[in-house]
Chains A and B, each alone.
Chain A
Amino acid sequence: MFRHYLTITIRNLRRDLGYSLINILGLGMGIAVSLLLFFWVRHELSFDRFHTDAGRIYQIAFNFPADNGQYDTWTSAPAPFAEKIGEEIPEAEAALFVSFPRQLAFQKDQTPYQEKGLYVDKSFLDVFAFPLLEGRKEGLLHQPGFIVLSEKLAEKHFGAGWRGQAIGKTLEAAEDESYTVSGVVANPPPNSTLQFDFLLSKEDYLSKNPWDSQWGNFSSRLYLKVKNGTDIPGLEDKLIGLFRKYKGNEERATISLLSFPGRHLYSKLENGKPVGGRITYVRLFIGAAAFLLLIACINFMNLATARATRRSREIGVRKVVGASRGQLAGQFMSEALAIALIATGAGIALVELLKEPFRQITGTELSIHYLEPGTLSLILATGLVAGLLSGSYPAFLLSSFRAVNIFRGKEAGQFSGASLRKGLVVLQFLLSACLIVCALGVQRQVKFIMNKNLGLNRENVVRVPMEGPLYDKYPSLKDEISLTGRQAVRCFQSNAIYGQRRDPRPGVGRQGAG
């Protein structure tokens, strides 16, 4: 029976090749776009979940009373707090100091280059599951001057044959500093909030930034791994007690423990409670993906039922020779599923084509491994839903035809489901129109952002970060540039655009005028 269905499906597809292509491509496009969105959603949902016991990792946030009766939440903490927690709070399995991302200039064969990395506590790799590729786990960052590289940086600095070469070697950094390589870890995956190319020790950080050892400087991030079954509100109270013990006079401040893997999706905080963030987009995209799939399925249904006129005689004959309604419905259902399967194949091809443009638009690198069980089941589920959804109505409708009426030519043109079909067309157009309006809206927004006159001339303005040797050679650089006839050179201690200090060595910057 199955072979019989397959035969008739294939022959039907072949006979109306144009129709089949439209149908399959239509469904395939819907499936492709839905899959892309689902992959993106999965990527977002997977953020920071790969750490062992990710659910037990929290970030410490401080809530300080603001003028409006609300609380301002800071997701940073004073550096010495981590150590005190480790000593005095038994519920904390680990308390980690992690700096904000810092740029550092290294040198290879006299050529400086910039990398971004983190200054971290020595137990960093015990809590966060970045696999160690080389080096001994004990003592990775136990001394100032030790550096752990990402695979990428190791390869960049030591070449493709870095394995067995990098450990114990010295890395020259700007300002006559040098670091000894103690380990190499795998590159942080794209779905990791913590991104770095090197790890340096907390001690190095504090010796360069001694003021951050004070309790009043909220200069770094602080992560906690709590023991199983810890009462989080109770721990929050204990932590603020500890903080007051050392800092004093912060009577009204409170502490919130924010779930680390939850931070990515719920980044918006109100009074120390996560209230939203990217999760909005995740929900929006799930909805969009479902709608697109629905539109594609309705389109399929309409094409399939409209063509039923041509198939009606076959339906009548089958009924007369003994097909039950269920068997006929099964036939059309399996046809729809087979077509959905082909469309899913076409969809995957489209996903491959669209992956690169999608990455450029969203900046998200989708790592799609088709044979991975999660991906495979997502694809199959999408195809199955598309098949069942798009096959259900034709199967139900066509199997209800009465043989006698078909042979009298009655049901061919004006079968009973026509009004439902019209409704589906209206729904399809409605959904399409909504999406088009949304797309136009977004497009005009983007155009507005691009073209709005902000009262300044952005043409020919270049920002050059002052790093490494540039500090010392600033006057000659400025002269060089002036000689080329460029109009103005300015030097800012802070980033003129973000208005926030980005430099790893504040205090060295200088005011310049051009």
Chain B
Amino acid sequence: MIRLRDIERYYRNGLRKAWVLNQVNLDIKEGEFVTIMGPSGAGKSTLLNIIGMLEEPSGGSYYFYDEAVHQFNERKRSDLHKAYMGFVFQAYHLIDDLTVYENIETPLLYRNVKGKERKSMVAEILDRFNIVAKKDLFPEQLSGGQQQLVGVARAVISRPRLLLADEPTGNLHTKQGDQIMELFKELNDEGVTIIQVTHSERNASFGTRIIELIDGNIRRDEQLREPSNQADTPKGVPNGK
């Protein structure tokens, strides 16, 4: 699904370059649940953003489903991002002025899903995440764990093939964090590829593979177990455009 070759990311600081990522080579197959770990400043979030096409690498090649993303323009990249990816943030990043329902609905609006279908999709996910009763509340009326549940619901409503999560449990206490992780595992079992950034060994244990970044380099790449149902996952373009 993902093939990174010699990915670099640096910032120019006068004449010197400050390296964030240096010569990163990484392959991720469909159905994996990858955890990126490492100390602060190791480039974890940058790597995640590059994979999520929110940020461009300074050099190297990035193939997504064998398409050369590094040669795409912004528009094509954002189309790919829209078609295949969901994003979960540490700070939830819900839109304050929208209710739970409307927050979850938003990605569908940008994908031109028709009203009736939209309604049933949102209803289904509210039901599944057990937040039907909260649907008319605004984010500030929810606890952190509930907000993150909404965040995840919003990320997966468009049925992405790839879920990217930047410290999704960083602001939550253990019990809420576990709940999110259980949810991730469930999604992964259904075939969604997940890449998460975390500091927590506990969270990493939910995944199938751990990658450790230190100073912009991959130091460790450890397979915890086989991805559960990789075989069931259809290849190609599952979500349609």
**Per a CB cutoff under 8 Å, which of B49, B55, B75, B106 touches A321?**
B106
B 46-62 contacts with A by CB, 8 A: 49, 54-55
0 or 1 for each of B116-146: is its CB under 8 Å from A? (1 = yes) = 0000000000000000000000000000000
Q: Which of A95-121 contact B (CB under 8 A)?
A: none
Picked from B54, B82, B110, the residue with its CB within 8 Å of the CB of A404 is B54
Q: Does B89 contact A (CB under 8 A)?
A: yes
Report B176-192 CB contacts with A as 1/0, cut-off 8 Å. 00000000000000000
Cβ B93 vs Cβ A407 within 8 A = yes
Q: Are A321 and B107 in contact (CB under 8 A)?
A: yes
Q: Is the CB of B97 within 8 A of A320?
A: no
- Chain A interface residue count, Cβ-Cβ cutoff 8 angstroms: 23
A324 at the interface (CB under 8 A from B): yes
Partner of B49 from A313, A323, A404 at Cβ < 8 Å? A404
Is residue A11 contacting chain B, with contact meaning CB distance below 8 A?
Answer: yes
CB of B72, distance to nearest CB on chain A (Å): 14
A403 CB to nearest chain B CB (Å): 5
Which residue of B75, B95, B102, B111 is within 8 Å of A314 (Cβ)? B95
A332 to chain B, nearest CB (A): 14
Q: B97–A327 contact, CB under 8 A?
A: no
Give the distance to chain B from A500, nearest Cβ to Cβ, in Å: 70
Q: Does A373 contact B (CB under 8 A)?
A: no
A316 contacts which chain B residues (CB < 8 A)? Answer: 93
Across the interface, which residues of B come within 8 angstroms of A369, CB to CB? none
Known: A316-B93, A404-B49, A407-B93. A321 touches B102 (CB 8 A): no
**CB–CB A7/B102 < 8 A:** yes
Assembled-state Cα–Cα distance A323/B82 (Å): 8
A4 at the interface (CB under 8 A from B): yes
Q: How far is the CA of A78 from the CA of B106 in the complex (A)?
A: 80
State the majority secondary structure of interface residues on A.
helix
On chain B, the residues within 8 Å of A318 by CB distance are 95, 106, 110
Question: Does B97 contact A12, Cβ atoms closer than 8 Å?
Answer: yes
Pick from A4, A317, A324, A407: contact of B78, CB below 8 A: A324
Q: B55 to A322, Cβ gap below 8 A?
A: no
Residues of B within 8 A of A322 (CB): 78, 81-82, 107, 110-111, 158
Q: Which residues of A contact B18 (CB under 8 A)?
A: none
A321 to B95, CA, bound (A): 11
Q: Contact at B106–A4, with CB atoms within 8 Å? A: yes
- Whether the pair A15, B97 counts as a contact (CB closer than 8 A) is yes
**Is A321 in contact with B110, judged by CB distance below 8 angstroms?**
yes
B94 within 8 Å of A by Cβ? yes
Q: How far is the CA of A404 from the CA of B74 in the complex (A)?
A: 14
Contact call A324/B110, Cβ cutoff below 8 A: yes
Tell me if B154 and A404 are in contact (CB < 8 A). Answer: no
Q: Which of A1, A317, A327, A402 contacts B93 (CB 8 A)?
A: A317
Chain A CB within 8 A of B26 CB: no
- B98 in the interface, Cβ–Cβ < 8 Å? yes
16 examples of A-B residue contacts, CB within 8 angstroms: A7-B102, A8-B95, A11-B97, A12-B97, A15-B97, A313-B93, A316-B93, A318-B95, A318-B106, A320-B54, A321-B155, A322-B110, A324-B78, A324-B82, A402-B54, A404-B55
Which residues of A does B touch, CB under 8 Å?
Answer: 1, 4, 7-8, 11-12, 15, 313-314, 316-324, 327, 402-404, 407
Q: Which 4 A-B pairs have the closest CB atoms?
A: A322-B110, A322-B82, A11-B97, A321-B107
B positions within 8 Å CB-CB of A:
49, 54-55, 75, 78, 81-82, 87, 89, 93-98, 102, 105-107, 109-111, 154-155, 158
